[in-house]
Amino acid sequence: MPLGSGLLGLRFLGCRTEDIPEAKRGSVLVIGAGPAGLGAAGRLVCMGHEVVVVDKMPEPGGLLIFGIPEFRVRKDRVRAGIRELREAGVEFRTGIEVGRDVSLEKLIHEFDAVLIATGTWKTKRLRIPGAELEGVYGALEYIVEYFMAKYGYRPLSSVPALGERVAVIGGGFTAIDACHIAMERGAREIHLVYRRTRREAPAGPNEFEMLEKKGVNIHELVSPKRYVGCDSRVCGVELIRMRLGAPDESGRPRPEPIPGSEFILEVTAVLEAVGLRPTPPFDPETNHGIRLNQDGTIWTDEFFRTTRRKVFAAGDVKHGPSKIGPALKSGIDAAQAIHKFLVGELKGWPGL
């Protein structure tokens, strides 16, 4: 049976359990059990390496389990793929946050190679007046909390209620899925607020149309200016209308505010989904010799090598927020480079 045939593209790994060599060639630690880490782990175990995957969450899968709703990614299939990896010899250690529970430095010394695949697990926050009010949440953090409760890792009562009127801010997958979560949580009115139009939205116009069919109110060409508080809790968002100007550095038309067009949307909660930040497993100050790019992603050369010997990086933490396919491919390609390093075919090291 192909390895990981139950887990999305992992069937590409194309090795059978009985083909895996018994004698191990090298030991690899993979930090992060999302598609990049899982793809790498599968490929490495196929090539005869001992593989340990460590993850801070209580079960492996990354955003496949704790970020993306069931209607897009079937959790039973993800779990079946992980079971196959485990049966093929990959060891999973969950509930361990590298950089907090164990230092990266210690792990680098314990393994022949380390792959960092820790994704982008922080929402970029809007710095507008009222951002500190109760009821204003980073969408990804809220979604992860919700799935933790949904899968029985904590009581549902520990996840803050959203109330009846929820505003979701953004135009990517996180924003779309935050609308679905708000529906699941029983919000009566959901407002998706985006500063460009659906044509420029990273999630694409179809996702907007699907939400509209489900009764979500879409507000295009508007941007939040401030949150309005009632006592310490958010009860409104002041929005300003935008028009599209000349293209910005992203190549998309720059949204420009239309003075005097402000209006207030009454809300009981806000989920901000305006982008995600890379989360390498260390503080930028104690970077273990691993250089970061300006946007916080980990710098690597074409062989996924960071500036620290033995340490590689793949997935969204290397190339920024993307999709399942590119993250998985990046992990599989990094595994190939790690294999070459471990069998002595990759000479030298960048910057050393």
Ligand X SMILES: Cc1cc2nc3c(=O)[nH]c(=O)nc-3n(C[C@H](O)[C@H](O)[C@H](O)COP(=O)(O)OP(=O)(O)OC[C@H]3O[C@@H](n4cnc5c(N)ncnc54)[C@H](O)[C@@H]3O)c2cc1C
Q: List residues near ligand X by CB under 6 A.
A: 31-37, 54-57, 62-63, 67-68, 72, 97-99, 117-119, 121, 140, 143, 173-174, 177, 279, 281, 315-316, 322-324, 327
| Of 166 and 242, CB closest to ligand X | 166
| Of 17 and 94, CB closest to ligand X | 94
- As measured in angstroms, the least distance from the Cβ of 320 to ligand X is 9
Report the largest interatomic distance among the alpha carbons of the chain, rounded to a whole angstrom.
71
What is the phi-psi region of residue 119: left when phi exceeds 0, alpha when psi lies from -120 to 50, beta otherwise?
A: left
| Of 86 and 254, CB closest to ligand X | 86
Beta-carbon-side half-sphere exposure of residue 232 (alpha carbons within 13 Å) = 2
- As measured in angstroms, the least distance from the Cβ of 47 to ligand X is 19
List all residues 6 or more positions away from 106 whose beta carbon is below 8 Å from its beta carbon: none
The span from the CA of 53 to the CA of 34, in Å, is 10
- As measured in angstroms, the least distance from the Cβ of 39 to ligand X is 8
CB 31 within 8 A of CB 314: no
| Of 171 and 281, CB closest to ligand X | 281
- As measured in angstroms, the least distance from the Cβ of 66 to ligand X is 7
C-alpha closest to that of 108 among 54, 188, 147: 54
| Of 64 and 240, CB closest to ligand X | 64
C-alpha closest to that of 106 among 286, 342, 293, 343: 286
Q: Which residues of 138-155 are buried (b: 16+ CB within 10 A; e: fewer)?
A: bbbebbbbbbbebeeeee
CB 224 within 8 A of CB 237: yes
| Of 168 and 235, CB closest to ligand X | 168
| Of 117 and 218, CB closest to ligand X | 117
- As measured in angstroms, the least distance from the Cβ of 99 to ligand X is 5
The span from the CA of 299 to the CA of 198, in Å, is 32
- As measured in angstroms, the least distance from the Cβ of 28 to ligand X is 15
- As measured in angstroms, the least distance from the Cβ of 141 to ligand X is 10
- As measured in angstroms, the least distance from the Cβ of 237 to ligand X is 21
| Of 181 and 221, CB closest to ligand X | 181
Pairing label, strands 253-257, 263-266: unpaired
The span from the CA of 52 to the CA of 110, in Å, is 11
Q: Which residue is nearest to ligand X (CB)?
A: 34
